[in-house]
């Protein structure tokens, strides 16, 4: 089989998907697609040996049953630009290859992330790492003005040191986490799905969720059937622990579950996801892999 060309992915190549105030995601290159996943699963050659319905059913079967290695055959390369604090969350996903702009070799640009006023919120009262209610507009605007003033002052000091001949690797050390950085990031489809599952979740920080959404748009273009199966069997699914299954049995018998506050809250959130599930349409029955 020659190089797989996916028209939807070709249309996205080198197109900036705008993210936050100054960031972006660009699909630079890709290798493979749905056909490559099917080929790898069947360990065969040539296209057209199975029908579209059979291929679709196979991909659904693979995702549903956690047969992940065929999805690792598909590679996507991105050029992304994000605030450093987003990059430090992003880089915790170690199953990728990246090359980041270096402040030792380059003078960093005067580009800092500034949130919209409606994203300036109080600390959550029940989530140590999350946001709560939004601040009143006037207070939010004052905080944003303060952030911008500090960013200007720090960058002016940085450029002053550069002008005096101070080494770039030292001059950069006081630049804040709101500074934008860029990198090339290459990852396989299986691990990209894992990234999206975690970072597009409602519990993730907003500033990385919007990047996960942009990456998802690219993944869907490269492998639309695989993304459909990912939405069906992973994003749209709920898994229960043993204790939660016991709680379900109690509820089905008409009782009330006895769990500590935090586990109970997580369990009830899962039940709400079940209640709010949107019925899937036009999905073929999963088919087992065939040679």
Of the candidates 199, 209, 242, 262, the residue annotated as catalytic is: 199
Identify whether residues 255 and 273 lie together within a single domain.
yes
* pLDDT band, residue 291 (cuts 50/70/90): very low
Verify that 184 and 275 share a domain, yes or no.
no
Residue with tokens 């590679």: 75
**Is 98 domain-assigned?**
yes
Q: Please state the rounded mean pLDDT for residues 168-184.
A: 97
Mean pLDDT value across residues 19-31 = 98
Residue 35 shares a structural domain with residue 72:
yes
Domain membership of residue 153 (yes or no) is: no
Range of the domain at 259: 241-291
Q: Shortest CA distance to 200 belongs to which of 189, 208, 192? A: 208
User: Does residue 75 share a domain with residue 29?
Assistant: yes
Q: Is the pLDDT of residue 282 over 70?
A: no
User: In the chain, how many domains are there?
Assistant: 2
- Both 253 and 193 in one domain: the answer is no
From 220, 235, 250, the end of a domain falls on: 235
Mean local confidence (pLDDT), 132-156: 96
pTM for the model stands at 0.89
- Same domain for 95 and 32, yes or no, is yes
23 and 98 in a single domain? The answer is yes
Structure-block tokens of residue 251: 């509820």
In a domain, 11, yes or no: yes
Q: Over the chain, what is the mean pLDDT?
A: 91
Statement to judge: residues 96 and 41 lie in one domain: yes
- CATH code where residue 19 lies: 3.30.1360.170
| 193-250 per-position pLDDT tens digit | 999 999 999 889 999 999 999 999 999 999 999 999 999 999 989 999 999 999 999 9
Is 126 a residue whose pLDDT tops 90? no
Residue 195 in any domain: the answer is: yes
pLDDT per residue as tens digits for the range 37-68: 999 998 854 555 567 788 999 999 999 999 99
Are both 228 and 253 inside the same structural domain? no
Residue 76 pLDDT > 90: yes
Q: Flag whether 142 is in a domain.
A: no
Q: Would you say residue 134 lies in a domain?
A: no
Residues 84 and 187 placed together within one structural domain of the fold = yes
The reply to whether 199 belongs to the active site is yes
Are both 198 and 253 inside the same structural domain? no
Q: 179 forms bridges with which residues in the sheet? A: 112
pLDDT in tens, 86-107: 999 999 999 999 999 999 999 9
């Amino acid at each position: 089989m020659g190089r797989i060309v996916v028209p939807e992915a070709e249309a996205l190549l080198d197109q900036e998907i705008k993210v936050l105030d100054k960031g972006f995601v660009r699909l630079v290159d890709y290798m493979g697609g749905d056909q490559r996943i099917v080929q790898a699963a069947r360990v065969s050659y040539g296209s057209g040996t199975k029908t579209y319905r059979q291929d679709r059913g196979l991909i659904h079967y693979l995702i549903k049953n956690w047969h992940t290695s065929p999805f690792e055959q598909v590679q996507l390369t991105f050029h992304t630009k994000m605030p450093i604090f987003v990059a430090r969350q992003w880089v915790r996903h170690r199953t990728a290859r990246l090359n980041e702009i270096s402040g030792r070799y380059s003078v960093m640009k005067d580009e800092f992330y500034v949130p919209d006023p409606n994203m300036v919120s109080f600390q959550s009262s029940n989530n140590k790492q999350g946001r709560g209610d939004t601040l009143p507009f006037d207070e939010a605007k004052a905080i944003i003005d303060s952030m911008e003033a500090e960013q200007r002052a720090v960058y002016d000091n940085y450029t002053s040191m550069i002008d005096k001949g101070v080494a770039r690797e030292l001059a950069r050390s006081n630049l804040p986490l709101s500074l934008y950085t860029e990198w090339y990031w290459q990852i396989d489809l299986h691990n990209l799905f894992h990234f999206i599952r975690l970072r597009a979740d409602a519990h993730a920080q907003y500033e990385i969720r919007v990047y996960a959404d942009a990456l998802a748009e690219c993944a869907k273009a490269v492998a639309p059937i695989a993304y459909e199966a990912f939405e069906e069997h992973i994003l749209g699914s709920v898994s229960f622990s043993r204790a939660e299954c016991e709680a379900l049995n109690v509820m089905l018998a008409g009782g009330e579950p006895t769990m500590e506050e935090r586990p109970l809250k997580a369990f009830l959130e899962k039940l709400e996801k079940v209640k709010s599930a949107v019925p899937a349409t036009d999905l073929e029955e999963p088919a087992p892999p065939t040679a």
